[in-house]
Chains A and B, each alone.
Chain A
Amino acid sequence: MKKFIISLLLLYAVAMPAKAVEITAPAAPEEAQDLMPVEQSSFGEDLWYVVKSAVQRLQPELVAGCGVCLAVTASVLLTSMLGSFPGSSKSTTELVGCVAIACLVLGTTNSLIGSAADTVRQLSDYGKLLLPVMTTATAAQGAVTTSTAIYVGTALFDALLGSLIASVLTPLIYMFIALSIAKSALNEPLLKKLQSLVKWVTTWSLKIILYIFTGYITITGVVSGTADQSALKATKLTISGMVPVVGGILSDASEAILVGASAVKNTIGVYGLVAVLAIAIGPFLKIGLQYLLLKLIGAVCGIFGGKQTTGLIDDMAAAMGLLLAMTGAVCLLLLISIVCFMKGVS
């Protein structure tokens, strides 16, 4: 009988927290919700659904991108044909070719830069809604020190990265494109050096921020995780010691509540991960597609095109690479943070 009662009590204790700890993840932005599954299932299935939906919506961009690529290839072909005529100035034909390529690619590039900047803003805004919820859920699981450290670190690095992208890196990408066009058109070595500097500054500023953030999260995760574990053990022992006979059952109940809170936190975390990926994947795939197409035509045009025109196509692909790195860095920062929240205290 006693065993039956204790089993009933434990069953009740396990069922209790799910009812009591009620926290929900903030809804993803409208555009991202279109890519997300209506009902949450496993993380793998949700992720597959998001990827599938995003790829299905990529067709218009693929058609437009192929059109631009064909036009660029045609202009490179025409330029090299003009350059091969006797008496024609090679530098003039290369200049005309570079201007033609710039005119063809700049429209798409400009809209992709705008789209990347919007995505960074959306990710940052969603992070501002999700992080407090994850902090509350992680603190409810007993990881008080860890949740505070992750929240402050992520919010600070997100603000830093957002500010850097808006005020420095986005203008630098425009500058990189402008320098690439000027360098290819004029074949000026100084411009090439300046262009390399811009690329180096952009890449390394993103890398350094991510390195520091990852280091911070790793160190605070270990230090605060140990502190939280000790605090939880102490709480359990105190409850067990304060109530004479049934103290053990009550302390088991406290653990069951923490397990329930952990389940709630993981559900929010999985939704958050899928939502962040749904926000980022559309623009990421569009930029990635443009990057691949430019790389492809860069390789094709390398067979028959001039050095400067082919170089410009490669530089445009490099600009897309920088955009991918910029969007990816913000997305990665949020994903790392969510995973760390989900890890919480073991």
Chain B
Amino acid sequence: MDSIRSYLMGIIVAAVVSGIAVRLLGDKGTQGAMGKLIAGLFLTFTVIQPITDIRLDDFKEISNQFSADASIAVWEGEKMTRESLCQSIKAQSEAYILDKAEGMGLTLKVEVTVSNDDLPVPTAVTLSGAVSPWAKSKLSAILTEDLGIKKEGQTWI
């Protein structure tokens, strides 16, 4: 409120000073016209003076700050999506392997590891349970061909 009061007071003082100056210089002639022009410019400057208080450098700083804030918010969003995607791909890959194992009459416990990159894909798997050498080689081939998990990434317990 203090800034508003001082702003209004400034305008009132400027208006009074301009009014007195215009009256002293008179209405007619070049002198009068010049007086009116100067008083008008002075009054206009007083009215729009708060605009000159706005610093463009401040906005540049603020803009940089907003960009940094946006980056943090975006990073959080991307992290959430990546985590959800990892969970989903892990769960689906495990369900797929269990289904294939069940088709071969096997009861296994499966733990799939998903890569932690921007594009999560299954990279390793740990399988535990009783399994014959024939079933092991068949399931291993399925893991490589269908899910792209290389033999080095397959751990059998």
Query: Is B truly associated with A?
Result: yes
Q: Which of A139, A174, A194 has most B Cβ within 10 Å?
A: A139
Q: Contact: A17 with B84, CB < 8 Å?
A: yes
In contact, A257 and B84 (Cβ under 8 angstroms) = yes
Q: Is A64 positioned at the interface, with any CB of B under 8 Å from its CB? A: no
Does B128 belong to the interface (CB within 8 Å)?
no
Are A239 and B119 in contact, with the CB atoms below 8 A?
yes
Q: Is the CB of B81 within 8 A of A257?
A: yes
Contact size range, B? 35 or more
Q: State how many angstroms separate the Cβ of B155 from the closest Cβ of chain A.
A: 19
Chain B residues near A303: list those with CB within 8 A: none
Out of A5, A16, A178, A254, which one reaches B91, CB within 8 Å? A16
Kindly state whether residue A58 has any CB partner on chain B within 8 Å.
Answer: no
Q: Which residues of B contact A243 (CB under 8 A)?
A: 121-122, 147-148
Which residues does chain B contribute within 8 Å of A155, judged by CB atoms? 66, 69-70
B92 within 8 Å of A by Cβ? yes
Interface string of A12-38 (1 = CB under 8 A from B): 110011001111000000000000000
Given A155-B66, A239-B121, are A167 and B53 neighbors across the interface (CB < 8 Å)?
yes
Contact B88 A147 (CB under 8 A): no
Chain B residues with CB under 8 A of A163: 54
Q: A residues within 8 A CB of B80?
A: 20-23, 136, 140, 261
Segment at the B interface, from A45-53, A75-83, A244-252, A272-280: A244-252
A160 to chain B, nearest CB (A): 7
The answer to whether B88 and A257 touch across the interface, beta carbons within 8 angstroms, is yes
Interchain CA distance A75-B13 in the complex, whole Å: 31
Cβ of B137 within 8 Å of any chain A Cβ, yes or no, is no
- C-alpha gap A306/B141 in the complex (Å): 98
B106 interface residue (CB < 8 Å to A)? no
The number of residues on chain A lying at the interface, defined by a beta carbon within 8 Å of a beta carbon of chain B, is: 62
**Residues 79-119 of B at the A interface (beta carbon under 8 Å):** 80-81, 83-85, 87-89, 91-93, 95-96, 99, 118-119
Q: A residues near B, CB below 8 A?
A: 5, 8-9, 12-13, 16-17, 20-23, 132-133, 135-142, 144, 147-148, 151-152, 155-156, 159-160, 163-164, 167-168, 170-172, 174-175, 178, 194, 197-198, 201, 235, 238-239, 242-247, 249-250, 253-254, 256-258, 260-261
- Report 12 cross-chain contacts, Cβ distance below 8 Å, ordered by A residue: A9-B92, A9-B96, A22-B80, A135-B74, A139-B77, A144-B74, A152-B66, A167-B3, A167-B50, A235-B119, A245-B146, A257-B84
